[in-house]
Homo-oligomer: A and B are copies of this chain.
Amino acid sequence: MTSSTSTPALLAASVDALDRVRSTGPLVHCLTNDVVVNFTANALLAVGAAPAMVDIPEESGIFAGVAGGILVNLGTPHAEQRAAIEAAVAGAAQAGTPWVLDPVAIGALPVRTELAHRLRDVGPTVVRGNASEILALAGAGAGGRGVDALDEVDAAADVARELALASGAVVAVSGPVDLVTDGRRTARIANGDVLLTKVTGGGCALGAVMAAFAAVEPDPFVATVAAATTYTVAAEVAAEAAAGPGSFAVAFLDALASVTGGDLRTRAALS
């Protein structure tokens, strides 16, 4: 962690944010891809939030004003969903609802890349991606070949900070060590497990959990760090009981539901 918030303060704030997610059950509106939508809803339920996937344009703008947080994930951007995303983002702006942008696999694929750049300029609260996606969103790098991170998180750190300052969004780069920055403050979270990359939606559902934390914590930098810490600590707990990716996914949902502030205090590798 650098500047203005100490690591212990950030950890205490993360524990507090987790408690508030659990006690208030924020409604999270997800416009996300077909592949991970089930896992995403289950991850939200497990952590204590209430998921709702309203992705038709006639309803998504209305719902953006009702929800506590919104996820916009570009993994399978069908035409009707793209229209629903535009309506949701407009509704979010009007209602002041925080929203998370996950620019899945942008770079070489034209529809999602153009849409991601446009959404970046509308002003997401948080942007989450792997290093190659963050580079592509910032206009640097070649973009991904899908959901893999071909670039290292550290290589993306400077670009992430610049993107945060230019866009006003907190930027989270997922990788072996997660990085979260608002341009001024930067935190690294060295928790997690490689099995999380062997379950589809391991990254995408984190974007939804960030939206849940942003619904209850007014500082988006704190919310994003708290979400990433909760999520990756749960992954560590789950990995201890897993025999492979199938049992890991199950144990991960159990761990997301049972992880406590005490677990964060004991296990978080925040810096």
Contacts and interface: CB of A to CB of B under 8 A. Distances in A.
A254 B243 contact: yes
A70 to B, nearest CB: 13
Interface string A97-131: 00000000100111110000000000000000000
Contact of A146 (B52, B62, B110, B147): B52
Nearest to A109: B59
A246 B245 contact: no
Interface stretch (A5-13, A43-51, A174-182, A223-231): A43-51
Interface residues of A, number: 58
Given A34-B34, A76-B56, A77-B56, A253 B257 contact: no
A50 B105 CA distance: 13
Copies of the chain in the assembly: 3
A78 interface: yes
Given A53-B35, A147-B52, A244 B249 contact: no
Contacts of A52: 105, 145-147
A59 B198 contact: no
A269 interface: no
B258 A253 contact: no
Nearest to A82: B56
Given A198-B257, A249-B246, A253-B244, A110 B38 contact: no
A80 B257 CA distance: 36
Contact of A247 (B53, B146, B200, B254): B254
